[in-house]
């Protein structure tokens, strides 16, 4: 196995290239942007952890007039287009800023963070103050930015000011690169100052992109295409390239060919199936299938430490999954529960989407939630689409399916915690199989189920109910000649319950499977391993098929 020099979390193109870290060549993005899909202002939206920041820092290194980037791009795809490189490489003053850290608890705090960010941009271009080419008024504004004395109005105009000063100094218009432009708006919606932030961003981006005579071109990245009328009002030189658009479909994220080459380089070709199952499935453009780079590199890194490493839901640990929780928390209707179960089962649902929206309306209706799940990568387009205005959506891969099932499990625990399960516990101790069967069926039909790992699902379902009823479970303790699925002991009442769970492949097999569970308890003498003080034992064989169940009970003494 060959070790790839993977640096997890490295997002700066220069750092990756100078340190010879593992890099998948995506520089053809530059050529496509400048030739096939030219636009004065381009907004490129992709889910989190797909390499947006790396893409923008790559552009920074390519365009910035203060740099000599020939060695960084040597041997990469864009370097083969010598005419384009001569015309564009290191030929324009460039401003880069990322808004991903603007997460203030209130608007004033967020403005303070933006002020510090702009101060950093000024420090990078502090040489402008020494030039007589820069207008005195602009130098004064830059000094205020540096001193932190700029008003909200001054900050809103700051990018235009910086661009004007750069053009005066270099004699060329400016390339503006803004990474994660929508993070401040998303966070403002969560913290309750959405209108203030939208107002500021409308002025901030409007001055930089709409009325900026010093602008050569601009590229913005983000997760969500915020409705044009919200913050891009009057911007006629603007194009958005989202996950449904054909341009750049294969330029952010990893293609199947790129993943295959990575695994071959690492001597891990035998893991290609696991990587595809867990991290593939995102369909961008018409039908381009893409892998999440963050996950692929993390899994390869783990495998380089241990070949026995198993795929994980790395994406789940990068931020909260509030949008999934919101959807599942709304699952109070049979129709919505059926849709969630359909998705978890690997099948498609059809929904009408609205890609251009605003953060403040995401949770106002079900359509917007489906749209947000699609735009943020929790859902993707199915391979086959209907011939109408609807979009067929599926969960892209096993990693995201685990996020859904884990969230469903937490939702179920919360749901159970709010119920009075005294009657369930009473029926369990009494051996009332008919009552238990009826109660289980009612609960199954009112909750979200998933069957990709049926035995585990039903085990979790039963243990959740038993815990909710306040009963003590001895998990998989060895009893007699084996390990029963569930053992409940009541030392005060000197009684116990033994449960063996079975999963029926067909509805007609339910009763036979429940009987099989009882027989297993008897044959393996599970009761013989109970604590010596136990005098009464209720044995249960419980079989499940989707949302149907069969309960068989048999009492035994000690």
For 37-68, write each residue's pLDDT tens digit: 778 999 999 998 899 999 999 999 999 999 99
Q: What is the pTM of this model?
A: 0.87
pLDDT tens-place string over residues 454-476: 678 898 899 989 988 989 888 65
How far is the C-alpha of 281 from the C-alpha of 284, rounded, in Å?
9
User: Cα angle at 57 between 160 and 94, to 5 degrees?
Assistant: 30
Residue range 471-516, pLDDT digits in tens: 988 865 666 567 899 999 998 889 999 999 999 999 999 999 999 9
Residue with the larger pLDDT of the pair 237 and 299: 299
Selected residue with higher pLDDT from 233 and 216:
216
* Alpha carbons 473 and 485: distance in angstroms, whole number: 10
- Bridge-based pairing of strands 282-284 and 288-291 is antiparallel
pLDDT score recorded for residue 92: 98
Rounded percentage of the chain residues whose pLDDT exceeds 70: 96
d(CA 78, CA 35): 12
DSSP string for residues in 428-474: HHHT-HHHHHHHHHHHHHTS----TTHHHHHHHHHHHHHHHTT--EE
Integer Rg of the chain from CA: 29
CA gap 359, 30 in Å, rounded: 30
Q: What is the DSSP secondary structure assignment for residue 326, as one 8-state letter?
A: H
Pair 107, 196: CB distance under 8 Å:
yes
Cβ-contact 549, 436 below 8 angstroms: no
- 503, 538 in Cβ contact below 8 A? no
C-alpha to C-alpha distance for 433 and 552, rounded to whole angstroms? 6
Q: What pLDDT, on the 0 to 100 scale, is given for residue 452?
A: 61
At residue 115 the predicted structure's pLDDT band, cuts being 50, 70 and 90, is very high
Higher pLDDT, 328 or 542: 542
Structure-token match 């079975």, residue found: 502
Of 81, 29, 86, 98, residue with least CA distance to 59: 29
Residue 103: how many CB atoms within 10 A of its CB? 16
d(CA 297, CA 4): 10
pLDDT tens digit sequence for 424-433: 999 999 999 9
Q: Which domains does the chain have, with CATH numbers?
A: 27-241 (3.40.50), 254-312 (no CATH), 322-405 (no CATH), 419-557 (3.90.1570)
Of 253, 390, 373, 270, nearest to 321 (Cα)? 373
DSSP helix/strand/coil, 323: helix
Which pLDDT score is estimated for 453? 61
Region label for 43, one of left (φ > 0), alpha (ψ between -120 and 50) or beta (otherwise): beta
DSSP single-letter state for residue 51 = S
Query: 107-124 vs 194-209: helix axis angle to the nearest 10?
Result: 30
> Residue 145: its pLDDT value, please?
84
pLDDT band at 528 (very low <50, low <70, confident <90, very high): confident
d(CA 154, CA 165): 15
Phi and psi for 541 in degrees, rounded to 5? -105, 120
């Amino acid at each position: 196995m060959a070790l790839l020099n993977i640096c997890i979390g490295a997002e700066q193109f220069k750092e990756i290239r100078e340190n010879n870290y593992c890099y998948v060549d995506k520089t053809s993005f530059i050529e496509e942007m400048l030739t096939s899909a030219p636009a004065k202002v381009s907004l490129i939206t992709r889910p989190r952890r797909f390499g947006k920041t790396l893409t923008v820092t790559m552009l920074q290194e390519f365009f910035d007039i203060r740099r000599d980037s020939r060695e960084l791009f040597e041997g990469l795809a864009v370097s083969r287009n010598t005419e384009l490189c001569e015309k564009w490489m290191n030929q324009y003053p460039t401003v880069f800023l990322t808004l991903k850290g603007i997460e203030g608890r209130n608007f004033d705090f967020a403005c303070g963070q933006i002020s510090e960010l702009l101060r950093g941009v000024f420090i990078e271009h502090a040489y402008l103050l020494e030039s007589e080419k820069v207008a005195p008024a602009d130098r004064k504004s830059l000094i205020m930015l540096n001193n932190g004395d700029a008003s909200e109005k001054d900050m809103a105009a700051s990018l235009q000011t910086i661009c004007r000063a750069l053009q005066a100094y270099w004699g060329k218009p400016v390339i503006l690169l803004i990474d994660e432009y929508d993070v401040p708006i998303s966070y403002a919606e969560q913290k309750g100052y959405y209108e203030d932030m939208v107002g500021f961003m409308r002025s901030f981006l409007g001055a930089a992109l709409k009325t900026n005579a010093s602008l050569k071109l601009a590229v913005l990245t983000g997760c969500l295409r915020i409705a044009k009328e919200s913050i891009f009002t009057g911007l006629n030189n603007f194009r958005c390239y989202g996950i449904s658009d054909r341009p750049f479909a294969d330029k952010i994220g990893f293609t199947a060919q790129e993943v295959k080459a990575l695994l071959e380089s690492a001597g891990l070709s035998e893991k290609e199936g696991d990587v595809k199952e867990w991290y593939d499935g995102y369909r961008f453009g018409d039908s381009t299938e893409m892998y999440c780079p963050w996950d692929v590199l993390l899994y390869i890194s783990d495998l380089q430490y241990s070949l026995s490493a198993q795929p994980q839901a790395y994406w789940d640990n990068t931020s909260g999954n509030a949008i999934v929780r919101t959807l599942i928390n709304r699952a109070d209707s049979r129709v919505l529960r059926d849709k969630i179960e359909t998705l978890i089962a690997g099948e498609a649902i059809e929904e009408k989407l609205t890609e251009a929206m605003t953060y403040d309306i995401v949770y106002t209706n079900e359509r917007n939630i489906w749209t947000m799940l699609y735009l943020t990568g929790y859902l993707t387009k199915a391979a086959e689409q209907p011939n109408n205005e609807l979009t067929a959506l599926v969960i892209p891969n096993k990693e995201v399916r685990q996020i859904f099932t884990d969230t469903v499990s937490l939702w179920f625990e919360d749901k159970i915690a709010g119920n009075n399960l005294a009657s369930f516990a009473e029926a369990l101790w009494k051996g009332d199989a008919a009552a238990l069967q009826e109660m289980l069926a009612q609960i199954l039909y009112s909750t979200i189920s998933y069957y990709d790992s049926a035995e585990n699902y039903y085990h979790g379902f039963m243990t959740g109910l038993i815990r909710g009823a306040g009963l003590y479970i001895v998990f998989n303790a060895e009893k007699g000649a084996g390990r029963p699925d569930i053992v409940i002991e009541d030392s005060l009442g000197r009684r116990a319950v033994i449960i063996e769970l079975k999963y029926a492949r067909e509805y007609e097999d339910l009763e036979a499977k429940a009987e099989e569970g009882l027989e297993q308890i008897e044959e393996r003498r599970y009761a013989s391993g109970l604590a010596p003080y136990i005098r009464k034992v209720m044995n249960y064989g419980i079989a499940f098929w989707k949302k149907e169940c069969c309960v068989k009970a048999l009492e035994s003494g000690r």
